[in-house]
């Protein structure tokens, strides 16, 4: 059986400058964003979180969470770890395994970057730690409107721009097209797909 069936992804993160916006405003959006991709996550210390994800969805989830917070002019720092889970507790923060250790170590590596990736595979780490910070840099240009449009595109993969305009209650399809283009959404998707394929090839 392929090794990847035994592997999981774990993200450890926190909200940057969380006190600048009332938590009552952004907390429901954070819970919704994480819960969309994971049924095993914890939010603790007010603005920190940890979640178990699949290798297939971890990168999309990471950037969806970024978009959800950038919609409120906030940002997130996230350490991504992939590996195994040897002890499965009801709460992810009480579970144990290399995925959790790598995620915590990746989070500790965050300095100027807002995303860091760690696994048992140095070549994969090297690729992801070149590509993902570049993608994260693109997100710093997003306005709240662009972040909302990117969120809708992530959440409704395969939807065309006319459908996205309807979902977002925008009058013109061209508004969606312009916002996705300015957000570099297509380039970001290609980068995330590339890194995901590298992970799944392990």
Q: What's the domain count of the chain?
A: 1
Q: What value does the mean pLDDT take over residues 132-140? A: 96
The answer as to whether 163 is a domain residue is no
Tell me if 151 is assigned to some domain: no
The answer to whether residue 138 is domain-embedded is: no
Domain ranges, residue 39: 3-121
Note if the pTM is more than 0.85: yes
With b for 16 or more beta-carbon neighbours within 10 A and e for fewer, the 80-116 pattern comes to bbbbbbeeeeeebeebebbbbebbbebbeebeeebbb
Among 130, 155, 132, smallest CA distance to 64 is for: 155
Does the residue 201 lie in any domain?
no
CATH number at 105 reads 3.30.70.270
175 domain-assigned: no
* Within-domain flag for 108: yes
Tens of pLDDT, residue by residue over 22-37, are 999 999 999 999 999 9
Per the rule left: phi > 0, alpha: psi between -120 and 50, beta: everything else, 122 is: alpha
In a domain, 99, yes or no: yes
Asked if residues 127 and 201 have their Cβ atoms less than 8 Å apart, the reply is no
pLDDT in tens, 68-115: 999 999 999 999 999 988 767 777 776 778 999 999 999 999 988 999
């Amino acid at each position: 059986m392929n090794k990847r069936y035994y592997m999981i992804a774990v993200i450890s993160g926190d909200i940057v400058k969380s006190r600048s916006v009332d938590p009552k405003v952004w907390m429901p959006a954070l819970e919704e964003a994480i819960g969309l991709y994971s049924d095993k996550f914890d939010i603790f210390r007010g603005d920190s979180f940890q979640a178990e994800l699949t290798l297939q969805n971890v990168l999309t989830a990471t950037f969806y969470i970024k978009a959800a917070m950038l919609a409120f002019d906030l940002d997130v720092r996230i350490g991504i770890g992939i590996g195994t889970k040897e002890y499965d507790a009801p709460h992810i923060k009480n579970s144990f395994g290399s995925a959790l250790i790598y995620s915590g170590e990746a989070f500790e590596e965050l300095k100027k970057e807002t995303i860091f990736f760690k696994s048992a595979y140095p070549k994969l780490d090297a690729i992801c730690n070149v590509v993902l910070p570049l993608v994260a840099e693109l997100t710093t240009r997003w306005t709240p409107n662009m972040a909302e449009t990117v969120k809708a595109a992530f959440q409704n993969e395969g939807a065309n721009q006319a459908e996205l305009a309807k979902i977002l209650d925008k009058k013109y399809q061209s508004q969606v097209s312009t916002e996705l283009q300015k957000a570099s959404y297509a380039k970001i998707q290609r980068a995330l797909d590339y890194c995901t394929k590298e992970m799944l090839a392990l």
